Amino acid sequence: MTQHPNVDLSSAQVAVDIGSTIVKLAFIGKDDNLVAQQFYPRDFEAGIVRQVESLLGSFGISPDRSEVRVCSSANGGLRVGIVCLTKHFSGAALRDQVLLAGANPIFVHNFDEAAKEVSYADILLVGGGINCKDAAPLERRLADFLLEKYRYGALVFAGNGCLADLFCRRFPSALVVPNPLAKQLVSTTTSVFEVVRRAYLDDLVYKEGISELQDKLSSGIRPTPEVVNLGFQRAVLGRSNLGVLAPCVLLDIGGATTDLHYTVEIVKDNSGAKPFWAAGSVSRYVFTDLGIVASRDTLLLQLRSHPRLYEFLREVLPGDITETYQLFREGEYQPPADLLGCGCLFLALDRFARGRGPGLPSGNIAQIAQVILTGGGAQALSEDGIARVVSLVASTKSSKPVILIDRRYQMWVEGIAFSDQAVAAATA
């Protein structure tokens, strides 16, 4: 039964977030303040379209209402594979645009990478070089490129524009978009960002049956990770109702993934990888194997094999942990939800501190002034527990960042309330 908030919603913007298990309905007032919010389990029998329209109808809201905005992570994120000339330049630029568009880069290969088994990619993105006619190294690699070793749904070329015709002659089905590196090694265009956003919508349409919502909802459907990143950008820029202290990190802990959003000044000067294209001085990284439901088994496997498991358990569990530690190592311990959430936090920050991930920079955890937690996996956590985990990773008790748990999911509200003009400015 729908519980209607006892407030006037007639002039409020309406925001809908379609998740894998929960549908969130938020009402946003003036100055993007959260007026009311409701949560509903996904009705898989009714389907997304019928459920969303029914929920809106229960509040007397037409899907045609211009204030209705929708985002979704229902399909777990678009999977993008990247093949590039160099991982530090073209690969980094492509990866960052894919991340900020809300998709998940599953690999970044250079053209010379040895053939091996790779995961299926919804989009295979090929790029490299700046726009110039004298491009013999890239031309040779494109001429010898073995596409058959990749499994993909759509092929996109976003490299040297002077070689686009060569690529299309070899692969007529390829879509060509403007080179994000243009005429210099500085990422200036958002072509890849936009094509990934559109493809994400197509992905939802074909796999989740949301196509009927497109014509009715004026703002279209956006990927939830992109929306959360925009909310983070707003907060960092001081244009948000959330008080944020930079440098800071935001971790969105979900059932399948954990998203790390961070201000780029945290990245160490000697980091092997660095954000190449970071709108508003923030960037994003997704850990596809860290989650409290769909990725629970891989999360536990990572924790069991971690050399600092005993120290971690000592920080998050009360009393003597000797027996628990032994059971955990043997795979016989069934951790509660809060420990799973802390595990995602611990592993994500630990990998960030060491740069352990494809294209993940190494961050100075001790410099973080604030840690923000959002997502379903963060709701059972405590501020004290989070602070202890952060201090463990930072390896210093003097590191005491401000802890904020986004229990009202304000970050996604701030992001989805962004106007189209603000979105364009933030991602330019």
pLDDT tens sequence across 194-212: 777 677 656 655 555 555 5
CATH superfamily for domain 13-75+209-223: 2-keto-3-deoxy-galactonokinase, substrate binding domain (3.30.420.300)
pTM for the structure as a whole: 0.77
Percent over 70 (pLDDT), the chain:
84
Highest mean pLDDT among 59-63, 126-130, 197-201, 296-300: 296-300
Question: d(Cα 219, Cα 196) in Å, to the nearest integer?
Answer: 17
Flag whether pLDDT at 215 surpasses 60: no
**pLDDT, position 183:** 61
If you average pLDDT over residues 30-49, what whole number do you get? 85
**pLDDT, position 82:** 93
Helix, strand, or coil here: 120? coil
If you average pLDDT over residues 223-251, what whole number do you get? 89
Flag whether pLDDT at 276 surpasses 50: yes
Domain chopping of the chain, boundaries:
13-75+209-223, 79-201, 243-405
Largest CA distance in the chain: 67
pLDDT tens sequence across 351-369: 999 999 877 899 999 999 9
Question: d(Cα 279, Cα 268) in Å, to the nearest integer?
Answer: 19
Residue with tokens 């678009």: 78
Pairing of strands 221-223, 152-157: unpaired
Domain 13-75+209-223 identical in fold to domain 79-201: no
**pLDDT, position 2:** 42
Least confident of 7-21, 170-184, 269-283, 406-420: 269-283
Per the rule left: phi > 0, alpha: psi between -120 and 50, beta: everything else, 195 is alpha
Average pLDDT over all residues of the chain: 83
In DSSP terms, 283 is beta-bridged to: 262
Pairing of strands 175-176, 152-157: parallel
Contacts of 186 (CB under 8 A, 6+ apart): none
Domain 79-201: which CATH class? alpha beta
**pLDDT, position 279:** 47
Question: d(Cα 55, Cα 3) in Å, to the nearest integer?
Answer: 11
If you average pLDDT over residues 15-35, what whole number do you get? 85
Among 95, 73, 339, 46, which residue's Cα sits nearest to residue 193?
95
- Count the Cβ atoms, other than its own, within 10 Å of residue 61: 20
Question: d(Cα 282, Cα 229) in Å, to the nearest integer?
Answer: 8
Flag whether pLDDT at 22 surpasses 80: yes
- Could you name the CATH architecture of 243-405? 2-Layer Sandwich (3.30)
Torsion angles phi and psi, residue 382, rounded to 5: -115, 155
Q: Which residue has the higher pLDDT, 78 or 292?
A: 292
Contacts of 24 (CB under 8 A, 6+ apart): 15, 16, 17, 37, 38, 39, 40, 409, 412
- Which 8-state DSSP code applies to residue 266? G
Question: d(Cα 13, Cα 65) in Å, to the nearest integer?
Answer: 9
DSSP conformation letters of 269-310: TT-SS--SS-GGGEEEEEETT--SSTTHHHHHHHHHT-TTHH
Helix, strand, or coil here: 74? coil
Highest mean pLDDT among 19-28, 35-44, 146-155, 380-389: 380-389
CB 240 within 8 A of CB 401: no
**pLDDT, position 1:** 35
Question: d(Cα 281, Cα 283) in Å, to the nearest integer?
Answer: 7
Among 60, 83, 374, which residue's Cα sits nearest to residue 231?
374
